[in-house]
Amino acid sequence: MKKAERINDMILFLADKNSFNLKELIERYSISKSTALRDIQSLEEIGLPIYSELGRYGKYQLLDTRIVAPGLFTKGEIYALYFALLTLKGYRSTPFNMESSTLELKYSQVLPEKLQQELLLMRRIIMLEQVNHSNASQYLKEIVEGILHEKVFNVQYAKKQEIVSIKAQFVQLSSKFGQWYARIWNNETQQIRVIRCDKIMSLEEENTQAALSLETLLEKAETFYQSEKKLSFSIKVNEKGKDIFSKENYPSMSIQVSEGNYLINGYYHKTEEEFITDYFLRFGTAIIQIEPIQLKESLLKKASSLAEYLYQL
């Protein structure tokens, strides 16, 4: 057995132990005393918390606050990573679908049995909120890689029952209530836009156009809402509206108590009018007052269109 393999096996062998002695290592790995001493020194150098006691075969104590596995994570860190992994299961789509499955398999293979049992028990006693969304986004991994490697894409995107083609760079990826959104830089209009990832029909890398640096794109994204096209809104709602807001809202929005009701304030870009209209349409009769007038008109138009459609059914 090579030294690297032996050291890795020692980490797992010692994970469930509070102490060990030199003789155990000598017999388990068929090595000399001097080799065992050098291996212990290597374990200490990579962070395993060992302290020795005098004796012929040298007794060693292990601090039980440090355990476990390749990488030498604390038990608390192992728990945190495991539950971060479990939260991903609440999404129908993630950028790490295959990696999540293989990571969970590796957890079951490399962790000490005692710790595996504790994780399984904790999984039963801690209930995680599920954010699963019915819309699958199949290009999340490609989007993340495209952002990191500053790629330009030809994007086929479903918009209003049509397929439109966009030459774009992805800037940021975000998730809200299980739905994934991407902020893009549209190379043709030279503007930042937000699109739903489940509406992306295909991605093809574009090699003929020069890409902007990620830092430049992030700066453009930061100033996106500071442009003159930013529109403010103020929507007064009742208690039911407050409950709807608490279940789903966005960073550009805030809510406060106002004369026994609630005032939702925020802003949106002109290109996001359809999105913001659809959002407030779900509030229905919970809305008491709407400003500005163009948002009210957009809601009226959307509601009329819906009523006409339902009437024809």
pLDDT by residue (tens digit) across 181-200?
Answer: 899 999 999 988 888 899 99
Q: What is the pLDDT of residue 67?
A: 46
CA distance 304 to 299: 8
101-124 burial: b if 16+ Cβ within 10 Å, else e = eeeeeebeebbbeebeebbeeeee
219 versus 96: the higher-pLDDT residue is 219
Residues 59-71 pLDDT 10s: 887 765 444 444 5
Give the Cβ contact number of residue 227 at 10 Å: 11
298 versus 16: the higher-pLDDT residue is 298
The residue among 25, 80, 75, 26 whose CA lies nearest residue 49 is: 75
The percentage of residues in the chain with a pLDDT greater than 70, rounded to a whole number, is 83
The answer on pLDDT for 168 being more than 50 is yes
CATH architecture of 146-225: Roll (2.30)
Q: Which residue has the tokens 């024809």?
A: 312
* pLDDT, averaged across the chain: 82
Q: What is the pLDDT of residue 126?
A: 77
β-strand partners of 181: 174, 196
Q: How confident is the model at residue 311 (pLDDT cuts 50, 70, 90)?
A: confident
The answer on pLDDT for 247 being more than 50 is yes
Distances (CA, A) of 206 to 75, 90, 113, 168, 311: 45, 33, 49, 9, 46
The percentage of residues in the chain with a pLDDT greater than 90, rounded to a whole number, is 35
Q: What is the pLDDT of residue 223?
A: 79
Distances (CA, A) of 111 to 79, 92, 250, 258: 12, 27, 39, 54
Q: What is the pLDDT of residue 204?
A: 93
pTM equals 0.57
CATH of domain 3-62: 1.10.10.10
Q: What is the pLDDT of residue 56?
A: 56
Q: How is 63-117 classified by DSSP, letter by letter?
A: -TTB--TTTT-BHHHHHHHHHHHHHHTT-S--TTHHHHHHHHHHHHHHS-HHHHH
Contacts of 9 (CB under 8 A, 6+ apart): 1, 29
Q: Find the mean pLDDT for residues 127-147.
A: 79
The answer on pLDDT for 226 being more than 80 is no
243 token code pair: 């409950």
Q: What is the pLDDT of residue 65?
A: 42
The domain limits of the chain are: 3-62, 75-125, 146-225, 230-312
272 versus 55: the higher-pLDDT residue is 272
Burial class (CB in 10 A: 0-12, 13-18, 19+), 10: buried
Q: Is 184 helix (H, G, I), strand (E, B) or coil?
A: strand
Q: Are 209 and 188 in contact (CB under 8 A)?
A: no
Fold category of 230-312 in CATH: Alpha-Beta Plaits (3.30.70)
Q: What is the pLDDT of residue 176?
A: 73
Using alpha carbons only, give the angle 102, 106, 110 rounded to the nearest 5 degrees.
175
284 versus 59: the higher-pLDDT residue is 284
Q: Find the mean pLDDT for residues 93-98.
A: 70
150 token code pair: 């500053």
